[in-house]
Structure 1
Amino acid sequence: WRCEHLKAYFHVGNLTYDGSKYIFEYTHHSNAPRKVREAIKNGYRLHPAFPELEKRYESKTLFPAFNRRIPSKDRIDYYKILQSLKLPKDADRMDILRKTRGIIQGDPYFFFEPLRFEEKSNLLSTSFYISGMRYRDLPSDWSEKIHLGDRLYPIHRPVDIDPYAIELHTDDQMFLGYVPAVYSQAMYSLLERNIELNFIVEELHPDYAPQWWVRVSFEATLDLKNDQTFQAEKLNDLVFYVA
């Protein structure tokens, strides 16, 4: 959820699919910054489709509140949309929601992928679009200076609305924008531990709106089970564990 007066994003809930049912739950278990309880203090009202803060909602089909954010299969250009998103023709609803972020013009809700942790390989990963690029004074030819596969470098530099803000820079020190705020505390805690964070340019769309300009893949290797000093609770609201 985006708070207009703060120009800040809050992680208010999680939507998951376990193979048989969809689950939605607010982040009410956490008192960490940028979760639903802080969002409520800043004017957030619970979604009408999910009116109870501490309830776990379940459904065998995708909740209508989310399904309406996905292009209909009845659209003539449906398969062209999938192609533009680099998705197969048989992509499921969750795949499409991840790629489109469920954005509706003028609506304050956005969807971000969770951090996926593969327990066998100890690999933490996700993908996201760089935030805040529209507010950067980038050179007119910025898109010619970065390429698919380029590595980006994180720098922690606090801002008023986010003490954990992580900037992303190119190899030649061009400041592109930020890691989305929903991940910033988690990324900051990893940097504190001197864990190597790998950010790779995955997609470039300079002709699109700024929020779609650069998509980045993220990976880091860590041992959540054996590193007892690591404050894993900073990750738990965002992590989807994969056996």
Structure 2
Amino acid sequence: MARERSANDATSIPPTDARRAVLWDMDGVLVDSADYHYAAWREALAREHYDLSYEAFRATFGQRNDTILRGIFGPDLAAAEVNRIANVKEARYRQLVREHGIAPLPGVLRWLQALRTAGWRQAVASAAPRANIDAILAAVGIGHYFDAITSGEDVTCGKPDPQVYLVSAQRVGALPARCVVVEDAPAGLEGARRAGMRCVGVTSTHAHLDADVVVASLSELDDDAFDRLIPR
């Protein structure tokens, strides 16, 4: 089917004024995988004789691995070392997902289906490695809803740079002004604004967010919430 094929295709679709899109962050929006990430980081960093506190983890949650690791070990940490430590962490994270499973956050399934039925394009726009995104989508069974997937490996700059959103918009063929970003982190919402997109903030990981619409859960959104942000 075209939807499944396009999610694995890096090519862009010519944008149109009529096409609307929702660009989804993953961690903290589609699923709550923070505990798995924390456990995996603690194990990986313990091998490097570093004790990661939960507070330090929360402060960097959602950032790219190279940013996190150079924040811990210094800006001169070699790329090979970044990759070595990150690979250990991500392999453990995916193992935890496979062993224990994960559920979508409240409201996610309802909105994925409703938006698809209404003709919205949808993409995952995440700083996570592609293998992690694939593992989550498979575990939850929602991969078929997405027309494109943009991972941290597809961009050179992490959030709040808008690159991940702009690439995602290109891949689904929507103009930036016709996109809504769903995010849980201030950096992601700032990136959405820089991209010229509307945004929904979900306070699953941060209590205070600056967005066009802010909710504690996607289940709280009104039925016409996305249509009000971007009318037909």
User: TM-score, structure 1 length as denominator?
Assistant: 0.24
Higher relative CO (Cα under 8 Å, sequence separation at least 6) belongs to 2
Structure with more of its chain in strand, by fraction:
1
Structure with more of its chain in helix, by fraction:
2
User: TM-score, structure 2 length as denominator?
Assistant: 0.24
Larger Rg: 1
